[in-house]
C-alpha cells in the first residue's frame, strides 16, 4: 500500500518525493509528499472511487485501486488517512495505522520497500526517513546521494545488491 | 555501513560494468511488482534474483528492473527477460525456484524455459492502437 501511494507520486511527475515512516509500538504513521502534478478537489474526490482512473497508465482499464485500498484498510482497522493536494503543486498523503488492531496488515519488510521505491523507473529525488524508537532506529536515505555514490545509476544488479546491503545495514 | 564504505565497494565493481555495457552484453530482468505481483511473492522473487546474480558473479552484466502489473495477474509473479541474441520473453509463476532456473538456464545457459513462457502482456493493458 505504501509502495502504491509512493509510486503514484513518482508517476505524477514529481521531481522530489518524501516518505516518512514513523513507527511506535502500537502505531505506524506514514506520510508521502511530492511536488508532482497534484489533483483538483473534484479529481481527488473521484480518486477515492475504485471505479475511477484517469486512464493514462492503463488506457483500457476501468479501475484505480491505490487510494481506495488505503481508505478501505484504514477504515477497517481503526486507522486514519488524509490527502491534501493542489494542482501544479503536489500531493501529501498521510496515513496512520493502528498496529494493535488485529486486522491491520503487517508493516512488512521496510528495507525491501525502500529498495523498491528507490529503483522505480524515472528521474526523481527521494528522501526517506524511518524511525522506530522501540527498535532504536532513526535513519534517512536520499536517492540522489546514493545514486551518486553508486556511480550514477541504480539499474544494474551491482548497484542494487550494494544498495540493498546498505539499507539493511541501517537497520542494525 | 557508511556512504564512504558504499562508495568504495561500488568503485571496486565499476570498471567491469562499464566495459560490458559498451559491449552491449547487458541482460535485462524485469520483475512485475504491481500489487498482484507483490501479493504473489514478487519481492521474494526479486530478492532471489539479486542473491543469485551476486552469487554467480553476474552483477556486472545484469540490469534488474521492476515494472507494474503486466495484466497477467493469474500468473504472477511475472518476469520479463531480455538477453542479447535471444527473443524477449515473459515468464509466469516465477517463484524463487523458477528464478533459480531462469538464472541458470536462460541467463547463463542461453536456453529458454519453454514451459514457463507466457508470451506478451494481456490485451487490456496495452496502449490503444
pLDDT of residue A39: 92
The interface pTM score, or ipTM, of the predicted complex is: 0.72
CB-nearest partner of B10 from A116, A120, A162: A162
Q: Cβ–Cβ of B43/A120 closer than 8 Å?
A: no
C-alpha cell at B128: 490503444
| pLDDT surpassing 80 at residue A27 | yes
Q: Which residue in chain A has the smallest CA separation from B7?
A: A149
CA distance to partner chain B, nearest, from residue A66 (Å): 9
Q: Cβ–Cβ of B9/A65 closer than 8 Å?
A: no
Q: Which residues of B touch A155 (CB under 8 A)?
A: 63-65
Q: Cβ–Cβ of B53/A161 closer than 8 Å?
A: yes
Q: Which residues of A touch B7 (CB under 8 A)?
A: 149
Q: What is the pLDDT of residues A54-113, one digit of tens each?
A: 877 777 777 788 898 999 999 999 999 999 999 999 999 999 999 999 999 999 899 999
Q: Cβ–Cβ of B66/A169 closer than 8 Å?
A: no
pLDDT > 70 fraction of chain A, expressed in percent and rounded? 100
CB-nearest partner of B33 from A116, A149, A150: A116
Q: Cβ–Cβ of A157/B63 closer than 8 Å?
A: yes
Would you call A121 an interface residue with chain B, using a CB distance cutoff of 8 Å? yes
pLDDT of residue A71: 93
Which of A142-146, A165-169, B19-23 bottoms out in mean pLDDT, i.e. has the lowest? B19-23
| pLDDT surpassing 70 at residue A19 | yes
CB-nearest partner of A160 from B1, B50, B125: B50
Mean pLDDT by 10 residues, chain B (129 residues): 87 64 74 88 92 88 85 89 88 92 92 82 58
H/E/C letters for each residue in chain A? CHHHHHHHHHHCCCCEEEEEEEECCCEEEEEEEECCCCCCHHHHHHHCCCCCCCCCCCCCCCCCCHHHHHHHHHHHCCCEEEEEEECCCEEEEEEEEECCCCCCCCCCCHHHHHHHHHCCCCCCEEEEEEEEHHHCEEEEEEHHHHHHHCCCCCCEHHHHHHHHHHHHHHCC
CB-nearest partner of B9 from A4, A69, A162: A162
CB-nearest partner of A157 from B33, B53, B68: B53
Q: Cβ–Cβ of B35/A69 closer than 8 Å?
A: yes
Buried b or exposed e, range A139-155, using 16+ CB within 10 angstroms? eebbbeebbebbbeebe
Amino acid at each position: 500500500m505504501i509502495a502504491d501511494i509512493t509510486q503514484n507520486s513518482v508517476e505524477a511527475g514529481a521531481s522530489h518525493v518524501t516518505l516518512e515512516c514513523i513507527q511506535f509500538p502500537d502505531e505506524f504513521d506514514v506520510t508521502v509528499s511530492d511536488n508532482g502534478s497534484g489533483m483538483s478537489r473534484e479529481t481527488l474526490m473521484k480518486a477515492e472511487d475504485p471505479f475511477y482512473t484517469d486512464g493514462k497508465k492503463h488506457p483500457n482499464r476501468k479501475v484505480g485501486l491505490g487510494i481506495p485500498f488505503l481508505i478501505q484498510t484504514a477504515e477497517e482497522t481503526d486507522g486514519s488517512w488524509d490527502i491534501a493536494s493542489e494542482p501544479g503543486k503536489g500531493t501529501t498523503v498521510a496515513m496512520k495505522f493502528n498496529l494493535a488492531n488485529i486486522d491491520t496488515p503487517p508493516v512488512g519488510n521496510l528495507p525491501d520497500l525502500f529498495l523498491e521505491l528507490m529503483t522505480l523507473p524515472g528521474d526523481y529525488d527521494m528522501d526517506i526517513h524511518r524511525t522506530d524508537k522501540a527498535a532504536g532506529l532513526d535513519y534517512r536515505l536520499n536517492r540522489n546521494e546514493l545514486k551518486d555514490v553508486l556511480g550514477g545509476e541504480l539499474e544494474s544488479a551491482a548497484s542494487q545488491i550494494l544498495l540493498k546491503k546498505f539499507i539493511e545495514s541501517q537497520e542494525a | 555501513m557508511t556512504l564512504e564504505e558504499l562508495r568504495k565497494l561500488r568503485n571496486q565493481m565499476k570498471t567491469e560494468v562499464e566495459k560490458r555495457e559498451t559491449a552491449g552484453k547487458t541482460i535485462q530482468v524485469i520483475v512485475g511488482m504491481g500489487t498482484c505481483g507483490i501479493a504473489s511473492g514478487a519481492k521474494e522473487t526479486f530478492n532471489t534474483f539479486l542473491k543469485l546474480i551476486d552469487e554467480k558473479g553476474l552483477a556486472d552484466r545484469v540490469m534488474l528492473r521492476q515494472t507494474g502489473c503486466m495484466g497477467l495477474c493469474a500468473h504472477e509473479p511475472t518476469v520479463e527477460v531480455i538477453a542479447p541474441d535471444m527473443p524477449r520473453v515473459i515468464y509466469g509463476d516465477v517463484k524463487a525456484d523458477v528464478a533459480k532456473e531462469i538464472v541458470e538456464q536462460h541467463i547463463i545457459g542461453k536456453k529458454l524455459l519453454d514451459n514457463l513462457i507466457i508470451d506478451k502482456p494481456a490485451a487490456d493493458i496495452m496502449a490503444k492502437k
